[in-house]
Amino acid sequence: MTDPLAPHEIVSGMGSAPPGIVSGMGSPLRTHAIIVGIDEYEIGASARLIGPVDDAVRFARWFLSHGVPAAQVHLAVTPGLAAVDDLTKTGADVRGPSRAEIHRLLTRDLPDWDGDLLWVVWGGHGAIDELRRRRLYYADSTRADPATLDLESAMAMAASSYVPGFARQIWIVDACQTHGLAVRSHWTPGTETFPVGAPERNREQDALFAASLGEPAINLTAARTGLFSSEVLRDLEATEPGTWPPDMEALTTRLRERFTRLRDSYEQTPTYLWYRSRAGDEGQLLQSGTAHAAPARPSGQIDLRLLGAAAEALVRIDEFVRTDVREEMLSVLRRDIYAAINRQGNARLEAVSVLRTCARYAGGIPELVEAVRFFCADPDRATEFAAAAQRLAPSP
């Protein structure tokens, strides 16, 4: 396969930090990057993607251009692209994306590395299992053995004493979060978990995901890239020399604003981004409005029949009825929306209050729909609620 990417200078060897960056805590010389890009799967041609390996090459080139030593750039990618061979010649650590190779990379190699900052970038197929845990497919997944990496378990391992170094970590995942690859009519999660040590109190993890529960990440086949990866790379490549590491909070803000603008002119854009900050906050990034965005319309203008239908659909969702899960569900909404909800002891009354509040804010109803989709285990009921709730959304 020929290299579809434009020529790009690759920094080889151990290298040195670019001007303005000192060799110390958080410098490129103390950075390792794990980059996974999977275009082809043993499950068959129906699972083939065009783009994750190209994106992996671009991420690797970006790390090298910012002074990360080639030996500390670790790729697990589908072989065959000429650019991957070029990276191998620089001294980058390149291997295949099978379960055995990736498992060895994470459980045997990673704990032995000495560093302060760890990046983990993954592009390929993903899924959500029955316990709403994020799963990422290995290249050797088959219909009989849908081998997947348990992302939550892998992140827990990296945040524990099992991995002695890397107090700062950045995880970027461009993968679908659908209910499997039609492996079976009722997909059952596997049992793979990663070893975990004692929790490290000062370990910081930022994580940014491209898709919501039940939704695919958008892959631009003609451009040989994932839309999410393309936008992340565009932002990273614009990083000023000497800035290391990039400010993840600023990056997510710029991504949110960019995708909000893209939705107005391009139908193939994410309706969803998910961000987990190093402080432990987690939530969806749907709007670029300020924390005190003006209400979209007075609550009195809501059609009571539509409100009742949406509330009825919401209380048919078991997870909303359960007080503990409902609280988690609502906590991912924007803070100003969450704070404005008039809390009720009765699930139906609270459903009405939640819907009325979300309808007052631009983008509030879509945010609620995505939160429900994430927590609801019954996709049919989630879809029924989405249809009823969208009728409440204010006209643009």
Domain boundary among 284, 308, 327: 284
Within this chain, do residues 264 and 385 fall inside the same structural domain, yes or no? no
Within this chain, do residues 181 and 327 fall inside the same structural domain, yes or no? no
Domains in the chain, number: 2
The secondary structure of residue 280, as a DSSP letter, is S
Within this chain, do residues 330 and 244 fall inside the same structural domain, yes or no? no
Q: pLDDT higher for 144 or 87?
A: 87
The confidence score (pLDDT) of residue 9 equals 34
> How confident is the model over 31-79, as pLDDT tens digits?
999 999 999 999 888 888 888 999 999 999 999 999 999 999 999 999 9
Going by C-beta distance under 8 Å and a sequence separation of 6 or more, which residues neighbour residue 276? 205, 206, 207, 208, 282
Identify whether 1 is part of a domain: no
> How confident is the model over 257-311, as pLDDT tens digits?
776 665 554 444 444 445 555 555 544 554 433 333 444 444 446 788 999 999 9
How sure is the predictor about 191, in pLDDT bands with cuts at 50, 70 and 90? Answer: low
Which range of residues forms the domain containing residue 348? 299-390
* Distance (Å, whole) CA 40 – CA 81: 12
Going by C-beta distance under 8 Å and a sequence separation of 6 or more, which residues neighbour residue 275? 206, 207, 208, 209, 252, 282, 283, 284, 285
The confidence score (pLDDT) of residue 299 equals 47
Highest mean pLDDT among 21-25, 63-67, 144-148: 63-67
The confidence score (pLDDT) of residue 220 equals 53
User: Rounded to the nearest 5 degrees, what angle is found at the Cα of 267, between the Cα atoms of 264 and 124?
Assistant: 125
Q: What percent of the chain has pLDDT over 70?
A: 73
* Distance (Å, whole) CA 325 – CA 143: 32
- pLDDT beyond 90 at 333: no
Q: pLDDT higher for 168 or 333?
A: 168
Sheet harboring 126-128: ordered strands across? 126-128, 134-137, 148-150
Q: pLDDT higher for 110 or 175?
A: 110
Can you tell me the mean pLDDT for 80-96?
Answer: 93
Measure CA 268 to chain center. Answer: 17
Within this chain, do residues 126 and 263 fall inside the same structural domain, yes or no? yes
The confidence score (pLDDT) of residue 268 equals 40
Within this chain, do residues 248 and 142 fall inside the same structural domain, yes or no? yes
- pLDDT beyond 90 at 231: no
Within this chain, do residues 273 and 380 fall inside the same structural domain, yes or no? no
| β-pair partners for 178 | 127
Highest mean pLDDT among 103-117, 221-235, 354-368: 103-117
Can you tell me the mean pLDDT for 166-171?
Answer: 93
Q: pLDDT higher for 163 or 141?
A: 163
Mean pLDDT of the chain: 78
* Distance (Å, whole) CA 382 – CA 46: 27
Query: In which element (H, E) is residue 375 found?
Result: helix 364-375
- pLDDT beyond 80 at 193: yes
Cα separations in angstroms, 360 against 155, 268, 348, 377: 37, 27, 19, 27
Within this chain, do residues 321 and 348 fall inside the same structural domain, yes or no? yes
- pLDDT beyond 80 at 1: no
